[in-house]
Every structure is written in C-alpha cells, then in structure tokens.
Amino acid sequence: MPKLTETEVRQALATVIDPEIGRPITDLGMIESVEIGPGGAVTVKVLLTVPGCPLKDQLERDVKRALAALDGVGLVKVRLDVMSQEQREALTTQLRGGPGRTVPFAAADSRTKVIAVASGKGGVGKSSVTANLALALADLGLAVGVLDADIYGFSMPRMLGVETDPTQVGDALLPPVAHGVKVFSMGMLIEPGQPVIWRGPVLHRAISQFLTDVLWGELDVLLIDLPPGTGDVPLSIAQLIPGSGLLIVTTPQPAAAEVAQRAGGLAVQTGQPVLGVIENMSWLDAPGADRIAIFGQGGGQRVAENLSQATGADVPLLAQIPLDQTIRQGGDDGQPVVLTAPSSAAAAAFGQIAAALAPQRG
C-alpha cells in the first residue's frame, strides 16, 4: 500500500466547503495542522471561525468523509479549535478582498448581478416575489443572496424560513442560509416587535453597512427587497451600487400600475436599467370557472410599455403571477411556493422570471 502524504491529505481537504462561507476550508486558513501516524491514521486540527459554531458537526463530518475516500487512510480524528483574534481579522480582510470597507458589488470586476426589486406602493406582493424568485434562481444552480432593505417593514426572515442568526467573524457578519440562499435583514438585529425609528442619514449608513460588513461571498445574483416608493433606501442603493438594475412589481389595476410606473421612473433619474415588470395577482383560478381578474387586467403591460418609452430601452413584462393562496401560505410558513408546489402556475411563472434574469456566464 502506498504511503499517504500530507500533500494528498490537504488536497482532499480542499474539497471540503465551509457551510457558512461557501469556500474551501483550506483557502480560509482553517487547517492548522495535519498529522499522519502509523497505519494511515490522520489527525487534522481545524480552526473554527467562532466559538460554538452551529455547523461544527457538519464540518467535522465533511472532513472525515473527504479523507475516508483516500487510499491508505486509516482512523481519522478531527480536533476542533477556534481562530485567534488576529486570524479572524486576517480572514475578514481576505473575504472583503482587502483592507477597509468597500461595497464588493460596486467593483468593476464584480461578477454579481444585483437586482433591486421595487414597487410603487405596498401590498402588491413585492417581498413574496423576491423570496420565490431567489429560490427559483438558486434552483438554476446559481449562488444567490437576498438583502432585505425594507428596514421598517422587513419580512424576509419569515418568508424564507431563516432559523439561525448571523455569525460574527471579527467586525463582520456571515449571513444565515435558508433553502440554499444567503439572507440578511434588519429583523436579525433587533428584538421581535421592536420598531425601527430612523431618519434618512441613518438609513443610508445602515444600508451601506449591510453591503460592506456582511460577508456575502461570491454570489451570482444579489436580490435587494426595497421598501415601496422612491425614498431614501432606493436612492442609497442606486448610489452605492450604480450598476444595479430595477425589477418592478405591480398588480393589474390602474391605481397600482400608475404608482409602479413612478417607481420605475426612478431609473431615469439614477441611470439604472429597468430589467422588467412583473404583474402579480393577475387572476384567480376558481373551481369550475374561467380565470377571474379580481384586480382588473393589463396593468403590468401598461407599466412595461410606459417605462420602455420613458427609459428609451425595452422593458419587458416578464410574467403574470396568479393570485394563489399557496403563495401567501408559503410566505407565512417560510416555505415558498416554488418549493411546496413546483408544478403550480405560480411556480412556473417564477421559473420563467428566473430564466429571463439569470446572468449569462461565458
């Protein structure tokens, strides 16, 4: 039997992905030592980013599984320890791409497509669209993050079923993961029922910190759930990430469509592209009856046409989503409809949107 080498062990460990950061543990400085004893016994010392890491058991299992696949490996022992303050600071700097606080998605070489989901008014289902679209994009094999930028009316933790808190690494935070999607929200930082009473400058600083102090890692798509309207937060996003695009959500009735058009008109002022329009609650499928257009018809198409004219670029109506109780139920339960009813008309619509918005990789 060939003698096992440390190089082979470290190469195997490079296949182990940290479940929170999403990168190989060898790249993150988490392997402090490797010892090979008689009979191929291997002892690996793994440094956790923080004490009491909630995923340490998974990490230990993954290390043992990766090493068990090597020829010549006998007993595998994993010793867990914790990074020093200096090691955590070095890791934070590495994950940020360098010293200082910058918005990684604003960098010229960023590979992340940033989509800000906007609406003119509340109650049109913007957040449920964001949650389901995130999972539909992840289902395409993309690395997806969701920033809940609706500071006063945050809802993503519930809608996506987030069950863990962010993990602090140095002076930064790792966002929790739900259904394979990274999520961060103001709702993770305050006690339940506590109101957020902030004015404009504080809102801007908070959004900036959510983008610089949260270690999002390498994302294909970042969805930003904006508050309704054209106030401080949408303007901050346009300033902090000039390359972000707007996705407009409306319902069919003229009153909602007119307000949605104003939200899309923000792009004319900021220079952001409008990626498309989504018409939500378009119809109701009633048993034994034709589709019932409870909120009227044509609002989404009108918004798309008017925004095309206003921006001078083609703004498509990406999809019409039916009024479906399972969408509401999924949001309440943290199990979006694309998971619970993948063959439904609603899930198909979200898949259609995801396919249209997915970044094209060369």
Query: In sequence order, what DSSP letters do the residues of 225-258 get, joined into one string?
Result: EPPSSSSHHHHHHHHH-TT-EEEEEE-SSHHHHH
Domain count, the chain: 2
Is there a single domain that holds both residue 173 and residue 43?
no
In this structure, the answer to whether residues 184 and 292 fall within a common structural domain is: yes
pLDDT band at 128 (very low <50, low <70, confident <90, very high): very high
CATH of the domain at 304: 3.40.50.300
The mean pLDDT value for 139-162 works out to 95
Domain stop point among 83, 115, 145: 83
Provide the sign of the torsion angle of the four alpha carbons 226, 159, 319, 356, taken in this order. positive
Pairing of strands 144-148, 221-225: parallel
The predicted structure's pLDDT at residue 100: 67
The H or E element that residue 34 is part of is strand 31-36
Question: What mean pLDDT do residues 134-147 have?
Answer: 97
Q: Does the pLDDT of residue 362 top 60, yes or no?
A: no
Residue 99 resides in a domain = no
In SS3 terms, 298-353 reads as CHHHHHHHHHHHHHCCCCCEEEECCCCHHHHHHHHHCCCHHHHCCCCHHHHHHHHH
Instruction: In whole angstroms, give the CA distance from residue 63 to residue 83.
Output: 18
Predicted confidence (pLDDT) at residue 29 exceeds the cutoff of 70: yes
Please check whether residues 191 and 317 belong to one and the same domain: yes
Confidence band, pLDDT 50/70/90 cuts, at residue 285: confident
Least reliable range by pLDDT among 223-237, 254-268, 315-329, 335-349 = 254-268
CATH of the domain at 70: 3.30.300.130
Q: How confident is the model at residue 224 (pLDDT cuts 50, 70, 90)?
A: very high
Provide the 8-state DSSP code for 214. B
Of 83, 117, 140, the one marking the end of a domain is 83
The mean pLDDT of the chain is 91
Cβ proximity of 326 and 340 under 8 Å: yes
Q: Is residue 351 situated within a structural domain?
A: yes
Shared-domain flag, residues 160 and 292: yes
To the nearest 10°, report the CA torsion of 126, 132, 134, 139. -160
Residues 223 and 306 in one domain: yes
Q: Tell whether 14 and 111 lie within a shared domain.
A: no
Domain that holds residue 71: 6-83
Residue 225 in contact with residue 127, Cβ under 8 Å?
A: yes
- Residues 43 and 146 occupy one common structural domain: no
Per-residue model confidence (pLDDT) at position 219: 93
What's the CA gap between 262 and 269, in Å, rounded?
Answer: 11
Task: Based on the fold, state whether residues 10 and 140 are members of the same structural domain.
Answer: no
Report the pLDDT averaged over residues 149-171: 89
